[in-house]
Amino acid sequence: MTALTASHPPSTHPKYRADIDGLRALAVLSVVGFHAFPGMVKGGFIGVDIFFVISGFLISTILFDNLARGSFSLAEFYGRRVKRIFPALFLVLLSCYVLGWFVLLAEEYQQLGKHLAGGAGFIANFILKQESGYFDEAAEAKPLLHLWSLGIEEQFYIIWPLLLWAVWQQRHRLWGIIFLLAVVSFGLNLSLVQRDPIGTFYAPYTRFWELLIGAMLAYATLHKPALLAVLTPRRANGVSLLGGGLLAMGMALLNKGSVFPGAWALLPTLGAALIIAAGPRAWFNRTVLAHRIVVWFGLISFPLYLWHWPLLSFAYIIESEVPSRGVRLAAVALSVVLAWLTYRFVEKPIRFGATHSRAETAGLVLGVAIVGGLGLHSYTHGGLEGTGYRTAEKSAYAHYFDNSLPEQAYFKKIRLAEYYRDGCNFYDLAQRRQGKATQVPVPMLEASCTVRQPTQPHAVLIWGDSHAQQFYAGLRENLPADWQVLQVASSGCAPSLTATQPSTVDYCQQSNWFALKTIAASPPDVVLVGQEQGHQRQTMQALAAKLHHLGVKKVVFAGATPHWTAPLPRLILRKLWHDTPQRTMVGVNQEVLASNRALAAEFKNTAGSVFVDVQSVFCNAAGCLTYFDTQDKTSVTTWDYGHLTPAASDYLAKMHLAKVILEGELVPPTGLVAPQ
């Protein structure tokens, strides 16, 4: 068996192929385009999957060659990985740490510290998996979010060289071993993506198959040349164009709402593999991918990937909304400049310099470890609250609204589980708080959610998602005692008539099926339908017709709440801290405001069906309500971008919603004075 460290000179790199650098360029530019302009490059996130295949091919080619020559050395392999990854990574991590000190609030800086430590330790994917959830911080507010892919890649390269070294004596079976591992990983991906889409996205074992596709191609290139010998020049052209077509399909058909990776990930992975397999002489490869401008972007692809997202994310954080097109263009342009400077003056000299000392490698490891340690210290010490921008008063305010997993301290302060009625939610919140995201529904709801009480002859059933859950607190306080409030409302689940049977794997299907089943079994007087956005008149009419058919006397559709471009407490901290206005248009999401206004004008109240314009209760010509108590800034109307606080839910019910339910028609609020 080949020794772990041998005296033979190691192979450096496979024969250089400009077209692979061009493929790198296609991958990174698609990711950058998706992050900067998601409406235009909707499927650009598949660039990461292209990177996985390229990496699996190139690194496995080196490993197979070294093993065949008897020159395999773990120390040499990891040393080269350090010099490839650490220089640019160190610069980006350190820059984020420094920039964050000046522009982030204490809670934001604390979270950045955790992500710095995770990025330095190549476990960012595990940290982000634990954080992701329905009420999680927006992805745009995490400057190091993109390091999840680097974590998966490096986790693969911890295991892969050791595995190859261990089985190299059985190399006549190696092709089958690689294929089996890829099939198992892909199978786990397919089986888990519906039940646990977040976990499947971030878990290494459901992503390794993408790198193994590249590894299989590398093995075939070196040890099974007959498999690729069938690619005549004409066939190679066709294979390359087919690969490009698969990538184009992925870009066009996928978007951030797609269930991914799943089977969809075959488009970018097989597309990339076909392009690589076609070889450098294929027309598309030599003419398009090997063009010098495209190759230049490929050469700076790694530092460009590292730089672009922090710049876009910091711009989002500072603006408290999606930055303007001009700002995003400037961020992308700056990331290209920084990527070139990093490649030219840092990455290239270290990676390809004449010296390859162990001290240099150790210095790089130490530098990244120090930055990671600084991040960990910041995380464990509350974000190093400091002075100046992060004043004690601001820090206390931000801390009040801190809702990070697993503690979710803000939810506990306001007893959100009680006010939103967690027991009527098929989304498994307990699993989510343990860092596990799953589509599997909870076994059953609490009896009080659906079981009618004889002492309360009247009932209203709340049906929808978390934007329906928010109505419970107010209705409970403002409906007469003879009215019972029932509820089947699950986080992220818009009401739908398509759920015709129960489900043990899809909590939204189970929630909607169970809601209709409950209504049919004992029709309430009123069904209150609420959802985050996306009300359509035809859908509303179909829902109303179905519910009336089941015996419901009145159907009330609640429009969207006022939406903010960032969590309202964060918006107050950044833009409205001094002399916070009780009403403002600063930070109000104008698109949601306009779509709700159009829907309110289009929907015609008919017998038994009513549309409640929620935004008109909170907003007027002077702006939308930010908080209620002028002596207490924590009395905000929404605790995030658009979910009502219990006080705001009470205000909505008192001003409008309870009257609509009781009186059977849209009644303008009278007798109550709204804050001006």
> Same structural domain for residues 426 and 468?
yes
> Same structural domain for residues 305 and 440?
no
> Same structural domain for residues 375 and 417?
no
| C-alpha span between 348 and 116 (Å, rounded) | 24
Residue at which a domain ends, from 380, 399, 417 = 380
3-state secondary structure (DSSP) of residue 250: helix
pLDDT, tens digit, 9 for 90 and up, residues 324-363: 999 999 999 999 999 999 999 999 999 887 666 788 999 9
| Mean pLDDT value across the chain | 90
> Same structural domain for residues 366 and 423?
no
Does the pLDDT value for residue 3 go beyond 50? no
> Same structural domain for residues 162 and 69?
yes
* pLDDT mean over 275-300: 97
Compare 6 and 100 and report the one with higher pLDDT: 100
Q: In what order do the strands lie in the sheet with 583-584?
A: 583-584, 623-625, 619-620
CATH number at residue 597: 3.40.50
Q: Is residue 403 part of a domain?
A: no
What's the pLDDT score for residue 14? 65
Q: Is residue 542 part of a domain?
A: yes
**Per-residue confidence band for 193, with pLDDT thresholds at 50, 70 and 90:** very high
Residue among 371, 359, 310 nearest 121 (CA): 371
> Same structural domain for residues 334 and 422?
no
**Per-residue confidence band for 383, with pLDDT thresholds at 50, 70 and 90:** low
476 Cβ contact list (under 8 Å, min separation 6): 485
**Per-residue confidence band for 227, with pLDDT thresholds at 50, 70 and 90:** confident
Domain that includes residue 251, residue range: 18-380
Q: Which residue has the tokens 């519910």?
A: 547
| C-alpha span between 562 and 637 (Å, rounded) | 9
Does the pLDDT value for residue 489 go beyond 70? yes
> Same structural domain for residues 358 and 429?
no
Q: Hey, what long-range contacts does 402-409 have (CB within 8 A, 24 or more apart)?
A: 402/107, 403/135, 403/639, 404/107, 404/111, 404/131, 404/137, 405/130, 405/131, 405/133, 405/136, 405/432, 405/433, 405/435, 406/130, 406/433, 406/434, 406/435, 408/135, 408/433
> Same structural domain for residues 209 and 92?
yes
| C-alpha span between 559 and 533 (Å, rounded) | 8
Instruction: Please give the radius of gyration of the chain, using alpha carbons only, rounded to the nearest integer.
Output: 28
Q: Is residue 147 part of a domain?
A: yes
What's the pLDDT score for residue 384? 57
Does the pLDDT value for residue 375 go beyond 50? yes
Residue 404, burial from CB neighbour count under 10 angstroms (0-12, 13-18, 19+): middle
How many domains does the chain contain in total? 2
> Same structural domain for residues 355 and 417?
no
Does the pLDDT value for residue 642 go beyond 80? yes
Q: Is residue 401 part of a domain?
A: no
**Per-residue confidence band for 107, with pLDDT thresholds at 50, 70 and 90:** confident
The answer to whether 118 and 147 are in contact (CB under 8 A) is yes
Does the pLDDT value for residue 295 go beyond 80? yes
Alpha helices in 522-673 (DSSP H): 537-549, 568-575, 590-602, 614-618, 646-652, 658-663
Residue among 493, 487, 496 nearest 536 (CA): 496
Q: Hey, what long-range contacts does 177-181 have (CB within 8 A, 24 or more apart)?
A: 178/212, 178/215, 178/216, 178/219, 179/216, 181/208, 181/209, 181/212
pLDDT, tens digit, 9 for 90 and up, residues 136-168: 667 899 999 999 999 999 999 999 999 999 888
What's the pLDDT score for residue 13? 56
> Same structural domain for residues 309 and 430?
no
> Same structural domain for residues 501 and 630?
yes
Q: Is residue 672 part of a domain?
A: no
> Same structural domain for residues 376 and 413?
no
